[in-house]
Amino acid sequence: MIQDIEPRKFNNSFENKKAKPQDLFLSYSGDTVLVREDKEKLWYPSFLDFQTEYPDLMDSASFLFSIDDINYFLVEEQGLDSVDGWGYSTIARFRTETKYWRSFAGVVGWQLNRWYANHRFCSRCGKPMKRSDKERMLYCEECGFQTYPTISPCVIVAVHDGERLLLTKYAGRAYKNYALIAGFTEIGESLEQTVSREVKEEVGLRVKNIKFYKSQPWPFTDTLLAGFYAELDGDDTITLQEDELSLGVWVNREELPPAESTISLTSEMQEAFRTRSVDL
């Protein structure tokens, strides 16, 4: 999955660091990220690359995290694609980069960039928010309100019935591949209760023997995914929630398509069922 970058080590500990010329930075413009144009892989800029045209870029950079001994900073300066050889590329490239540590760095940086952008002003009193120099936190000097990076719990559910797995397709989304049941946990609800509710809402089925598989950070949508396998309980007739799904179908194990990648928990869980590598 995208966070599996071993043997490299991701360190998200907050540090009040100042950038150095050799450090890398991440720059976003909407749903695009600044990368080297002549590279097939995601190649992020260093401050040294921009020292001639933007000598003061390091001064306003915010430390994000490190991977091994590489420090990553966030730069909010716009128009950096004016420098020859650099351009903004769609964040869809995070899903196709084969070196997961490169895509993981980019998408976690994008998550934090959105968080900073969405909390420029206090949601309680409307005054400008300030960044803490002690932890990854924004605070309001006027009323004392504090906020931390948004992380929303979400379940991924592989509903199975003997040799069959329930596959779905989303309605009205760009993602057209097979998916599993998914949904956010509501207030006052356990993850297991979310599993039962989402399956009932989206496909009209009941489940039993709910079994946790593993979790995954999914920075694309500020979520922490929790994967579960759940056995069909009773009638197998599918009733689609059509505003959420365009398709729901039972597929026999031997007919499941091999996963093109295992970047996501959804694809890994489908592949684990297909190859019998998960004990159900």
Residue 270: per-residue pLDDT: 96
Mean pLDDT score across all residues of the chain: 95
Mean pLDDT along residues 82-106: 94
Whole-angstrom distance, CA of residue 2 vs CA of residue 97: 10
Residue 173: per-residue pLDDT: 67
Mean pLDDT along residues 136-165: 97
**Does the pLDDT value for residue 180 go beyond 90?**
yes
- pLDDT tens for residues 228-256? 999 999 999 999 988 888 889 999 999 99
Look up the pTM and report it. Answer: 0.91
Instruction: Using a pLDDT cut of 70, give the percent of the chain over it.
Output: 99
Q: What residue segments make up the domains of the chain, in order of their start?
A: 10-118, 119-150, 152-274
**Does the pLDDT value for residue 174 go beyond 80?**
no
Closest listed residue to residue 261, CA positions, set 97, 42, 92, 91: 97
Whole-angstrom distance, CA of residue 114 vs CA of residue 110: 6
Mean pLDDT along residues 16-22: 95
Mean pLDDT along residues 59-65: 95
The distance of Cα 101 from the centroid of its chain, to the nearest Å, equals: 13
**Does the pLDDT value for residue 7 go beyond 80?**
yes
**Does the pLDDT value for residue 176 go beyond 80?**
no
Mean pLDDT along residues 20-42: 95
Classify residue 38 as exposed, middle or buried by CB count within 10 Å of its CB (0-12, 13-18, 19+): exposed
Structure tokens at 149: 């990076």
Q: Where are the beta strands (DSSP E) in the chain?
A: 10-11, 24-29, 32-36, 62-67, 70-75, 86-90, 130-131, 138-139, 146-147, 152-161, 164-170, 181-184, 207-218, 223-232, 245-252
CATH among 3.30.310.80, 3.40.50.800, 3.90.79.10, 3.20.20.150 for 152-274: 3.90.79.10
Structure tokens at 194: 């979310």
Mean pLDDT along residues 94-113: 95
- pLDDT tens for residues 107-127? 999 999 999 999 999 999 999
Residue 222: per-residue pLDDT: 96
Query: Given the structure tokens 């097979």, which residue do they identify?
Result: 178
**Does the pLDDT value for residue 132 go beyond 90?**
yes
- pLDDT tens for residues 255-270? 998 988 889 999 999 9
- pLDDT tens for residues 196-231? 999 999 999 999 999 999 999 999 999 999 999 999
Whole-angstrom distance, CA of residue 224 vs CA of residue 152: 6
